[in-house]
């Protein structure tokens, strides 16, 4: 199959120096692109000098993750898009298991590899781990990662199985499906746009899978660090937008109200911890959500699948019942 590996870059020359060699060395089947979001460092000149085989697409400004990929992919002709963060180290033969799955399973539209932590390679990494799920209120969690608890990789998720969402850190999708879904939602800018895209795919009957035969290592937070108020703002706002677009109509307002109340509790917790910038970020997120609500409500598909969540409340399970590992949720040893 014709596959394009596309790395989104913004002032990331240090990351390209560190991680682009592994992508080039271990991706003989692919055409490799760097989609540049108007970098002002030496990223472009570095690629031209040291990796002339890598094709460069220049976006006119920093369009973020969602619009950055949407714009770049207009210029790429391939059956499969592999969207790869610039802070990902890939491994030998990482593409083969993914391509084999696409070849043998026509209904599979999106695939995620096993994502381990670059800094602690025996542990899963926050952004995706072994495949993503959500609870009834739209809180995302993963096999291998629930909130901030990361599991050690003991082979417990060495399988291929359906998941609800695949991580944008290393995200494989059929180009035909990407175009059918009109790509990522530009309103999101960054964070949770891949969950929204997967949810829209799920509502249209496409399958999303995790394949542990492909392994990558992710630094995480290299562009916007964990704990940054901007990350808080985008995550809280985009969660509400995602729910607005994808929830079954009969559940929409009940779940939105419940989620907003939970956001309020999170805001109070930030206040008690002295994290005033994060409290303010939640307020701004809700203000932005109210502004965007009408336009995003109009984006709803004709059909929304009701069986979208794996557990009722991951917040209750994690903080009240104190279950920290994915398999514990279902009594799996």
Mean pLDDT of residues grouped by 10 in the chain (333 residues)? Answer: 97 97 98 98 98 97 96 98 98 98 97 98 97 98 97 98 98 98 96 97 97 96 70 96 97 97 96 96 98 97 94 96 95 76
What CATH number does domain 3-218 carry, 3.40.190.290, 3.30.200.20, 3.40.50.11810, 3.90.550.10? 3.90.550.10
- At residue 225, the pLDDT reads 59
Three-state secondary-structure class, residue 198: helix
- At residue 223, the pLDDT reads 56
Distance CA 138, CA 247 (A): 9
Which letter does DSSP use for residue 135 in this model? B
- At residue 333, the pLDDT reads 65
- At residue 227, the pLDDT reads 75
Strand pairing class (207-218; 108-117): parallel
- At residue 222, the pLDDT reads 55
Distance CA 314, CA 317 (A): 5
Which letter does DSSP use for residue 188 in this model? G
The whole model's pTM is what?
Answer: 0.96
- At residue 331, the pLDDT reads 83
Write down the domain spans for the chain: 3-218, 229-301
Element (H, E) at 303: none
């Amino acid at each position: 199959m014709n596959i394009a590996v596309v790395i989104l870059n913004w002032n990331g020359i240090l990351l390209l120096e560190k991680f682009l060699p592994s992508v080039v060395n271990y991706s003989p089947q692919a055409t490799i692109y760097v989609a540049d979001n108007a970098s002002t460092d030496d990223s472009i000149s570095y690629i031209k000098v040291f990796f002339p085989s890598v094709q460069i697409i220049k976006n006119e400004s920093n369009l973020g993750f969602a619009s950055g990929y949407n714009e770049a992919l207009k210029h790429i002709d391939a059956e499969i898009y592999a969207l790869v963060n610039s802070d990902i180290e890939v491994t030998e033969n990482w593409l083969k298991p993914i391509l084999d799955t696409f070849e043998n399973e026509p209904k599979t539209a999106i695939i995620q590899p096993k994502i381990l932590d670059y800094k602690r390679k025996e542990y899963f990494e926050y952004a995706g781990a072994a495949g993503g799920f959500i609870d009834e209120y739209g809180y995302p969690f993963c096999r291998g990662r629930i909130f901030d608890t990361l599991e050690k990789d003991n082979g417990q998720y060495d399988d291929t199985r359906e998941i609800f969402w695949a991580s944008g850190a290393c995200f494989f999708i059929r180009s035909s499906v990407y175009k059918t879904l009109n790509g990522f939602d530009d309103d999101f800018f960054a964070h949770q746009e891949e969950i929204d895209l997967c949810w829209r795919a799920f509502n249209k009957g496409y399958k999303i899978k995790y394949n542990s035969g492909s392994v990558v290592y992710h630094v995480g937070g290299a562009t916007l660090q964990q704990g940054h108020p901007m990350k808080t703002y985008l995550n809280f706002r985009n969660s509400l937008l995602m729910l607005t677009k994808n929830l079954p109509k009969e559940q929409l307002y009940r779940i939105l109200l419940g989620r907003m109340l939970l956001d309020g509790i999170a805001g109070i917790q930030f206040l008690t911890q002295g994290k005033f910038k994060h409290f303010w970020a939640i307020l701004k997120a809700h203000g932005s959500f109210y502004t965007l609500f009408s336009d995003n409500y109009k984006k709803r598909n004709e059909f929304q699948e009701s069986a979208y969540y794996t557990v009722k409340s991951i917040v209750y399970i994690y903080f009240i019942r104190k279950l920290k590992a994915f398999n514990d949720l279902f009594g799996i040893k």
